[in-house]
């Protein structure tokens, strides 16, 4: 009981810290004010804290396999965001996000893990083959666009799986709602990424990216905890 209370206290402290940091970087992004730390670094600290939430789960998990899949997905998210926020290498960052989405996909459809991996590898090979043909014979395209398209397919499939998992009670309550809403917010985040980089390219989608993204990661990190 003492250990549970201790973990609960740490969890509350982390959530309060994330909330303060969330308001801070949104304020920086909206006003453009300069502080001693950049908005991107604050955002990255929040992502690390989300991963730490999953590490705290321990025995308070739905089951061990679910906890491991969640932790792997969030760990890869930490690595991906390192290359998107701190050391910009967008192609590598998106590629690592694809692997992270694979673990999320297996988590939401645990019985078909082997099939999921096989399908995703096949899909990736097909997309790379199409990219190579188009790039060689028709027009020069950045590989970032190709891997981003592949990632978009991953994400949409996983949102569908998360909603299905919620609908058919594949996870207990409230975990199933955290998973469904977490993935929906994840999708809304990436829709704004696409808008910012292709069509709109102004401050509104830029702000909305992390407005949706951080809550999605908090919900997913919390979704691995067994309710007590």
Chunked mean pLDDT (size 10), the chain, 228 residues = 75 96 95 89 97 93 94 97 93 93 92 83 83 77 84 93 94 95 97 84 85 98 87
In a domain, 96, yes or no: yes
Cβ neighbours of residue 71 closer than 8 Å, sequence gap 6 or more: 51, 54, 55, 57, 224
In a domain, 62, yes or no: yes
What angle in degrees, to the nearest 10, is found between the helix axes of 113-137 and 143-167? Answer: 150
Full residue range of the structural domain in which residue 131 is found: 2-222
In a domain, 58, yes or no: yes
CA gyration radius, the chain: 18
Total domains in the chain come to 1
Task: Give the CA angle between residues 6, 41, 187 to the nearest 5°.
Answer: 85
Q: What is the sign, positive or negative, of the torsion defined by CA atoms of 160, 163, 169, 172? A: positive
In a domain, 8, yes or no: yes
* pLDDT of amino acid 77: 97
* pLDDT of amino acid 140: 74
* pLDDT of amino acid 227: 72
Residue 209: CA atoms inside 13 Å, Cβ hemisphere, count?
22
HEC string for the chain? CHHHHHHHHHHHHHHHHHHHHHHHHHHHHHHCCCCCCCHHHHHHHHHHHHHHHHHCCCCCECCHHHHHHHHHHHHHHHHHHHHHHHCCCHHHHHHHHHHHHHHHHHHHCHHHHHHHHHHHHHHHHHHHHHHHHHHHHCCCCCHHHHHHHHHHHHHHHHHHHHHHHHHCCCCCCCHHHHHHHHHHHHHHHHHHHHHHHHHCCCHHHHHHHHHHHHHHHHHHHHCCECCC
What residues are paired with 61 via a beta bridge?
225
What residues are paired with 225 via a beta bridge?
61
* pLDDT of amino acid 158: 95
* pLDDT of amino acid 118: 86
Which of 54, 47, 64, 45 minimizes the C-alpha distance to 10? Answer: 54
* pLDDT of amino acid 119: 83
In a domain, 23, yes or no: yes
* pLDDT of amino acid 8: 86
In a domain, 70, yes or no: yes
Distance between start and end Cα atoms, the chain: 11
For tokens 């919900």, the residue is 219
* pLDDT of amino acid 1: 58
In a domain, 193, yes or no: yes
In a domain, 153, yes or no: yes
* pLDDT of amino acid 4: 64
Q: CA-CA distances (angstroms) from residue 79 to 44, 60, 90, 147?
A: 10, 25, 12, 17
């Amino acid at each position: 009981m003492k250990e549970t209370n201790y973990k609960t206290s740490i969890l509350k402290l982390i959530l309060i810290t994330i909330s303060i940091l969330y308001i801070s970087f949104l304020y920086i992004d909206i006003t453009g004010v300069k502080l001693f730390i950049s908005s991107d670094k604050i955002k990255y600290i929040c992502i690390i804290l989300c991963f730490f939430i999953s590490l705290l789960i321990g025995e308070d998990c739905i089951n061990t396999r679910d906890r491991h899949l969640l932790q792997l997905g969030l760990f890869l998210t930490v690595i991906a965001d390192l290359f998107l926020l701190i050391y910009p290498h967008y192609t590598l960052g998106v590629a690592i996000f694809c692997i992270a989405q694979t673990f999320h996909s297996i988590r939401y459809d645990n019985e078909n893990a082997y099939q999921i991996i096989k399908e995703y590898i096949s899909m990736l090979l097909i997309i790379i083959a199409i990219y190579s043909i188009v790039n060689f014979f028709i027009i020069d395209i950045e590989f970032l666009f190709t891997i981003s398209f592949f990632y978009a397919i991953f994400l949409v499939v996983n949102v569908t799986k998360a909603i299905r998992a919620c609908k058919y009670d594949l996870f207990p309550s409230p975990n199933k709602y955290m998973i469904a809403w977490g993935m929906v917010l994840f999708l809304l985040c990436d829709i704004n990424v696409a808008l910012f980089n292709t069509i709109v390219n102004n401050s509104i989608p830029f702000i909305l990216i992390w407005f949706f993204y951080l809550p999605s990661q908090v919900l997913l990190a919390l979704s691995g905890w067994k309710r007590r």
